[in-house]
Amino acid sequence: MIDRTSLVGFGEAGQAFAQPGAAAFDIATENGETRPLKIAEYERAQVRWSATPAGALAHAELVLSLVTADQALPAAQRCAPLLKSSALWFDMNSVAPGTKREAAQAIEAAGARYVDVAVMAPVLPARFGVPLLVAGPHADAAAEALRAYGFTKVSIAGPKVGDASSIKMIRSVMVKGLEALTAECVLAAERAGVRDAVLASLDASWKEQGWAERVDYNLDRMLAHGTRRAAEMEEVAKTLSDLGVDPAMTRGTIQRQREVGALDLTPPNGLTAKLAAIEAREEDQAA
């Protein structure tokens, strides 16, 4: 299995998922300035590197695409004509479902099999223990192949290309958004000289609860008080600006609070009912 596996892209993820004896290609190999450094990385990982994608893909039955997000579609389009018939192309890149569907068209048109894969945690230090979600019409065969290669936490997300990447992308709204909010909050707190007090207040008010309960509560507050909260957040934005911190995330909060408050809904009980009410009201307003 390993000697029939190729890695396209050999950055952090490619090196984390490399097995001695696998083949590899990275676009950096084609750059004269970066080529020696990349070759050294290949040699440390004990992979069979190639100066061209054709060389790396010549005998590959399994291909792990691990490039940068902006190169996910170009890599699929470039490599598709080079793939063996029925080879599995694992698109493990963090891109939108629509981008993955475009890549799938190129791969499938060439006679190979496309697999939507979402890597659901940092690749280091987990490496082959990182959780993977796979989706698409070849998900069952893909999951079996990934396990045979060495991955230990592989789950099937759904039968359509985009089922795995949708989970990854939409989850990132919260995960990366919280990171950005954290930066905006703590930078302002530090400049105001109130960091410890702000963090202690957050500790005191942050409830231990599951995300479904947390989301239900947050939507309840926004539906009931979104308009007032938007006005309050305008003052928060002014506070940050006065401290020299660009309130980029806060401006988005103002807009979202105002939009949800403007729906003019009495919050129904339960998350499912709230979401249904919001959808119905938005449809009515759009009509």
Fold of 2-166: Rossmann fold (3.40.50)
Can you give the pLDDT at residue 97?
A: 94
> 274 near 286, Cβ under 8 Å?
no
User: Residue holding tokens 């500790």?
Assistant: 203
Can you give the pLDDT at residue 201?
A: 96
The winner for highest mean pLDDT among 16-20, 209-213, 228-232 is: 16-20
Give per-residue pLDDT as tens, 43-75. 999 999 999 999 999 999 999 999 999 999 999
Can you give the pLDDT at residue 110?
A: 96
Residue 251: CB atoms within 10 A of its CB come to 14
Can you give the pLDDT at residue 35?
A: 82
Tokens of 225: 């008080």
What is the share, in percent, of the chain residues with pLDDT greater than 70?
A: 99
243 three-class SS? coil
The number of CA neighbours under 13 Å toward the Cβ of 20 is 3
Q: What value does the mean pLDDT of the chain take?
A: 94
Give per-residue pLDDT as tens, 178-208. 999 999 999 999 999 999 999 999 999 988 8
Residue 33 has pLDDT above 80, yes or no: no
CA 136-112-72 angle, 5° bins: 70
What's 266's DSSP letter? P
- pLDDT band for position 215 (cuts 50, 70, 90): very high
Residue 39: CB atoms within 10 A of its CB come to 15
Give per-residue pLDDT as tens, 121-175. 999 999 999 999 999 999 999 999 999 999 999 999 999 999 999 999 999 999 9
Can you give the pLDDT at residue 278?
A: 95
Instruction: Tell me the Ramachandran region of residue 244: left when phi exceeds 0, alpha when psi lies from -120 to 50, beta otherwise.
Output: left
What's 66's DSSP letter? -
> 97 near 158, Cβ under 8 Å?
no
Tokens of 235: 């003052």
84-107 average pLDDT score: 96
Can you give the pLDDT at residue 207?
A: 83
Give per-residue pLDDT as tens, 267-286. 999 999 999 999 999 998 88
Question: What ranges do the domains of the chain cover?
Answer: 2-166, 207-286
207 three-class SS? coil
